[in-house]
A and B are shown apart, each in its own frame.
Chain A
Amino acid sequence: DIRMTQSPSSLSASVGDRVTVTCQASQDISSSLHWYQQKPGKAPKLLIYDVSNLETGVPSRFSGSGSGTHFTFTISSLQPEDIAIYYCQQYESLPHTFGPGTKLELK
């Protein structure tokens, strides 16, 4: 299985801050990576697919980049509604695997 790691595991930031989360794959996954947002008690929501493509309706303050084994997810200006856990997911090979998540909190 391809192992996904994320850093940091938790992050405290203020409204308006630029926030960056890193996702690393245990082997080269090319551009086979997606990002999700999960709020308490809710199913995950797809934000970004194929590294950098914004899902329809997702605000442009969210962005992603990377390739190979190293990927980043950025919120350019944190909003209160962005408080959630963020997960990366690889689909280069089965089984699909997710990162352990990054919990974003308001400072």
Chain B
Amino acid sequence: QVQLQESGPGLVKPSETLSLTCTVSGGSISGGSYYWSWIRQPAGAGLEWIGHIYTTGSIMTTDYNPSLRSRVVISMDMSKKQFSLQLHSVTAADTAVYYCARELTYFDHWGQGTLVAVSS
């Protein structure tokens, strides 16, 4: 059974970079038909897809939500079975629970989520 686990700081200062890592266990992260996504959810609000990464052989491809594209980088370390999120120049509006998820058009496996607060 595939499991995902987010890790990273729970507090980030305004204008700095939010960095999270998702560790995948119980399955392969490379090849196949799967994409690996980041999704966030502000408190009491809905879900926003941030972007995803997928591999075709050794080639990694990313897609990002246009609303965040200028500030987001998603990367992958296949040897560690991890993929990561960097969100630059954060503001209070980036405070949210961040989820990593396995994607196959639908998101069928999710991490438990990690709350990241942006505050000085």
Contact B49 A43 (CB under 8 A): no
* The one of B47, B64, B101, B106 that contacts A91, using a Cβ cutoff of 8 Å: B106
- Determine the main DSSP class of B at the interface with A: strand
Q: Count the B residues whose beta carbon is within 8 Å of the partner chain — how many?
A: 20
Q: Count the A residues whose beta carbon is within 8 Å of the partner chain — how many?
A: 23
**Which residue of chain B has the shortest Cβ distance to A94 in the bound complex?**
B63
The verdict on A95 contacting chain B, using a C-beta distance below 8 Å, is: yes
**Which residue of chain A has the shortest Cβ distance to B104 in the bound complex?**
A49
Min CB gap B96→A, angstroms: 13
Min CB gap B42→A, angstroms: 12
Within 8 A of B (CB), among A7-61: 32, 34, 36, 42-46, 49-50, 55
Contact B106 A89 (CB under 8 A): yes
Q: Which of the segments A62-70, A72-80, A97-105 contacts the partner chain? A: A97-105
Contact A1 B66 (CB under 8 A): yes
* The one of B46, B64, B106, B111 that contacts A43, using a Cβ cutoff of 8 Å: B111
Contact A98 B66 (CB under 8 A): no
* The one of A43, A97, A100 that contacts B110, using a Cβ cutoff of 8 Å: A43
Residues in chain B within 8 A of chain A (CB atoms): 37, 46-49, 63-67, 99, 101, 105-108, 110-113
Residues in chain A within 8 A of chain B (CB atoms): 1, 32, 34, 36, 42-46, 49-50, 55, 87, 89, 91, 94-101
